Each structure stands twice: as C-alpha cells, then as structure tokens.
Amino acid sequence: MREIKKSDILKIYTDGAARGNPGPAAYSFIIPKIPKINICMLLYL
C-alpha cells in the first residue's frame, strides 16, 4: 500500500442535503485515491 503524500493531488467527491431550513441534514465525502481502498465519511447532523 502506498502512502498519500503532501504533493499528491486528491479528488474529493462530496454530497449533502437538508430537510427544511433549519432541519435534519447529512453530508458525506469519499477520496478514491488508492485502488481498492476508499477513504469515506458520512455525518448526520
């Protein structure tokens, strides 16, 4: 496995939505940098 270095260019895909304003919301992101290993996160607010 290769480490991600500061000089690497990362593609970051994001998405989010809310129900109402203000209201329940969530967002997520994924960094598909290394083949077969994805860094992802999902947060519900």
- Write down the pLDDT at residue 36: 66
Domain that residue 30 falls in: 13-44
pLDDT score of 44 more than 70? yes
- Write down the pLDDT at residue 35: 65
Look up the pTM and report it.
Answer: 0.56
- Write down the pLDDT at residue 10: 78
Here the tokens at position 37 are 């290993």
The structural domain count of the chain equals 1
27 assigned to some structural domain:
yes
8 assigned to some structural domain:
no
8-40: pLDDT as tens digits: 777 888 999 998 888 888 888 887 766 666 666
- Write down the pLDDT at residue 5: 77
CA pair distance 18, 34, nearest whole angstrom: 30
A 10 A CB-CB count for 25 gives: 14
